[in-house]
Chains A and B, each alone.
Chain A
Amino acid sequence: MLNVRSALLNKKPEVKTVTKFTCLAAILLSSTGMAQAAGSLSIESWRSDDANIWSDVIIPAFNKNHPDTKVNFAPTPPTEYNSALQAKLKAGSAGDLITCRPFDTALDLYKDGYLANLNDLKGLKQFSDVAKSAWVTDDGKDQFCMPVASVIHGFVYNKEIFKELNLSVPKTRDEFFKTLDTIKSESRYIPLAMGTADQWEAATMGFQNIGPNYWEGEKGRKALLSGKEKLTDKAYVDTWKELAQWKPYLGRGFEAQKYSDSQNLFTLGRAAIYPAGSWDIQTFNNQADFEFGAFPPPVAKAGDTCYISDHTDMGIGINASSTNKEAAKVFLNWMASKEFATLYANEVPGFFPLSDHQIDIKDPVAQEFMSWRQQCKSTIRNSYQILSRGTPNLENQLWNVSAQVINGTMTPEAAAKETQEGLEQWYKPQQ
């Protein structure tokens, strides 16, 4: 019956008669339909790693209360997702639910009319404004995706090595560098497992990881957006200065060390500390045969407020041309529930639900990451909202200069100058 309705809607020339008929059909459907079937839903996503979890755990849980909606999780590999989705949306063959990348990628889809407006979605009440900020129009009026998960940055450490060398978890920067010194001088372990070959780790696990403690999280990020602060300010230069100090603690030949090399160095037990994104937890759980823990980016003095990068990474929205929007909304509202949050957080450790529910996470390391939300203030990566819209692209510049600062081929001041000049070329508030 639902197919009949959609077929009718597609016939444009006979709008008047059709609308009448559709109304009738819709009424008929809603009376009979609500009770028996909500049709089928297809989800577009880039999380091909989680396909099993969706089909074996999450969708069956949804079907317990909504037995009539058939949900199909149809992922595309992450590197192809954006272009594949774009092509499918243009061709009209995309699924009913669209997993949203944060900020401009999703915003452009909304502007082009591919994503439905979600302002009246009940489930949205479960999310804070910071969580929603990644999928809202610049004027803050229209919400087009519902937040699903975030990733948190910090440091993961090998507990056995820490025990062997009698180290405790560093809380301040001085302690952090003392710990690194001890590992370097008293053992053959690599103190910090990170390379600069892929460049993004330098920016994401380096700059965006330790930076929020310098620029005070959201305060600094907003100030950068409004033009009150510049990238040449002390906070940013100091962040790069600390990164420059990492160099002696990285492995030999770190300039050619790739992301997977760093992961392997850590899981093989050859490195003590790993600047991490919480998504690494899954890999480490599978590959490391030692116990590991995590600590947040160290602060300047004991007792200082700590700030963490709790980056809104994944949202979900409704395809504007979906023929099954009601069922899609039911599904989204369920995704805002505590049940989903608990399921998701436990099945995909390292991706943290953004809703306000109090949930229990069983994975100890994921729990540790999650607990920082209570102790510290959350922020998102400062280059993601608006600031990477122009040419030169701030995010790309951050990758480049952060990698160079760690390599020692660029001074922190020069890095600050280059990025600030890049921003000033096109971003009005910074001019």
Chain B
Amino acid sequence: MVFFLGPGLLIYVVFSVYPLLDTLVLSLYNEQQGQTSFVGLQNFITLVTDDTWSQAFWNALGNNFKFFAIHMLVQNPIGLLLAVLLSSPKLRLSGTYRTLIFMPTMLSVVIIGFVWQLLLSPIWGISENFLYSIGLGQYFDAWLGKESSALITLAFISVWQFVGIPMMLIYATLLNIPDDIVDASVVDGANSFQTFWHIKLPLILPTIAMVSILTFVANFNAFELIYAVKGALAGPDFSTDLMGTFFYRTFFGFQLQQGSASMGAAVATLMFLIILMGVMLFLFFIQRRIQRFQF
């Protein structure tokens, strides 16, 4: 036991458990002029009730839920659709499509941010001409710069980048469904939609549930794309501020704003708790009801 688990456990404790616990402890302290003192839950109370902090906090949390909702409503259904299309035996070149669709996931977020900014740029971008060529030119706007559309645009960019992950996971599950079950449904007279709805979908539900929880965790930890495109101040008027960028500003500071390690730890702890709660709700209410099938 010690030999097998020891090394892994040690690395896990040193690099994951200890920093996490240290963050939790740090969030109970306050530092002023180099003096550290124990303040209990004061940091958290400040964070959710004091106007200067709570506005930014609730705004970031709200934006984060919007960001997550867009991923759930757009990324995962598209991922599912793509996976179903890809697993269709009639599709030619499916390997090429699979690779192409998965490609952006492997690119650095900085590159994604830069490329999309160029594409969408009202000055140099090609999207305006493209829209004109299909007759929708009058709808073009500086989407990344408008308060009403910046967050949605960023969420779509992120969806575009990561749609490959749900696609691959669902695709792999679809391939695992034995042909005899599908054949049996066809023999019973089901059309292709009925086969999908009554046979395949129940079998891939556990994967869809897992994809959802992965999306949840990834979205509430999201930071890079916003930072790369809008900077740490997540403009305009903090409309693209997520928990990640809020944490960054609090912990590291920004420009003339001095960072605060203890306040930053409090934000990180709240992020941890939110994700923990989400995962727990998922485990209690969804995971336990999901039936797994052995073939």
**A83 located at the interface, meaning its Cβ lies under 8 Å from any Cβ of chain B in the complex:** yes
Task: Tell whether, in the assembled complex, residue A396 and residue B144 are in contact, meaning their CB atoms are under 8 Å apart.
Answer: no
Residue in contact with B143 in the complex, picked from A251, A256, A261, CB distance below 8 Å:
A256
Shortest Cβ distance from residue B121 to the other chain A in the assembled complex, whole angstroms = 6
Given A112-B34, A261-B121, A404-B236: A104 touches B258 (CB 8 Å cut-off): yes
Task: Tell whether, in the assembled complex, residue B256 and residue A393 are in contact, meaning their CB atoms are under 8 Å apart.
Answer: yes
Contacts of A108 in B (CB 8 A): 258
Those of B232-249 within 8 Å (CB) of chain A: 233, 235-238, 249
A83 to B248, CA, bound (A): 13
**A254 located at the interface, meaning its Cβ lies under 8 Å from any Cβ of chain B in the complex:** yes
Shortest Cβ distance from residue A243 to the other chain B in the assembled complex, whole angstroms = 15
Residue in contact with A409 in the complex, picked from B141, B237, B255, CB distance below 8 Å:
B237
A407 to B256, CA, bound (A): 24
**A395 located at the interface, meaning its Cβ lies under 8 Å from any Cβ of chain B in the complex:** yes
Task: Tell whether, in the assembled complex, residue A396 and residue B255 are in contact, meaning their CB atoms are under 8 Å apart.
Answer: yes
A121 to B123, CA, bound (A): 51
Given A197-B144, A251-B123, A383-B256: A403 touches B235 (CB 8 Å cut-off): yes
Known: A403-B235, A425-B52. 12 other contacts (CB 8 A): A104-B258, A195-B145, A197-B145, A199-B231, A251-B122, A257-B122, A261-B123, A393-B256, A395-B256, A403-B237, A407-B145, A409-B237
Q: Can you give 23 A-B contacts (C-beta < 8 A)? A: A111-B34, A196-B236, A199-B235, A251-B123, A252-B122, A252-B123, A253-B121, A253-B141, A255-B144, A255-B145, A256-B143, A257-B121, A257-B123, A261-B121, A383-B256, A388-B255, A391-B52, A393-B254, A393-B257, A396-B256, A404-B237, A407-B145, A410-B237
Contacts of A200 in B (CB 8 A): 255
Contacts of B231 in A (CB 8 A): 198-199
Most buried by A among B33, B123, B143, B257: B123
A254 to B141, CA, bound (A): 10
**A400 located at the interface, meaning its Cβ lies under 8 Å from any Cβ of chain B in the complex:** yes
Shortest Cβ distance from residue A62 to the other chain B in the assembled complex, whole angstroms = 32
Tell me the dominant secondary structure on chain B's binding face: loop
Contacts of B142 in A (CB 8 A): 252-257
A69 to B158, CA, bound (A): 54
> Total number of A-B contacts with CB less than 8 angstroms?
106
Contacts of B233 in A (CB 8 A): 199, 396, 399-400
Task: Tell whether, in the assembled complex, residue A255 and residue B236 are in contact, meaning their CB atoms are under 8 Å apart.
Answer: yes
Beta-carbon nearest neighbor of B145 in chain A: A255
**B252 located at the interface, meaning its Cβ lies under 8 Å from any Cβ of chain A in the complex:** yes
**A392 located at the interface, meaning its Cβ lies under 8 Å from any Cβ of chain B in the complex:** yes
Task: Tell whether, in the assembled complex, residue A256 and residue B144 are in contact, meaning their CB atoms are under 8 Å apart.
Answer: yes
Number of residues from A at the complex interface, CB < 8 A: 42
A105 to B170, CA, bound (A): 51
Contacts of A383 in B (CB 8 A): 256
Contacts of B31 in A (CB 8 A): none
A420 to B231, CA, bound (A): 25
Shortest Cβ distance from residue A262 to the other chain B in the assembled complex, whole angstroms = 9
Contacts of A258 in B (CB 8 A): 117
Those of A179-199 within 8 Å (CB) of chain B: 195-199
Those of B266-286 within 8 Å (CB) of chain A: none
Task: Tell whether, in the assembled complex, residue A253 and residue B256 are in contact, meaning their CB atoms are under 8 Å apart.
Answer: no
Contacts of B255 in A (CB 8 A): 200, 388, 393, 395-396, 399
Q: Which 6 A-B pairs have the closest CB atoms?
A: A253-B122, A255-B145, A256-B145, A253-B142, A256-B142, A388-B256
Given A256-B145, A265-B123, A392-B52: A400 touches B256 (CB 8 Å cut-off): no
**B198 located at the interface, meaning its Cβ lies under 8 Å from any Cβ of chain A in the complex:** no
A254 to B121, CA, bound (A): 9
Shortest Cβ distance from residue B194 to the other chain A in the assembled complex, whole angstroms = 47
Contacts of B122 in A (CB 8 A): 251-253, 256-257
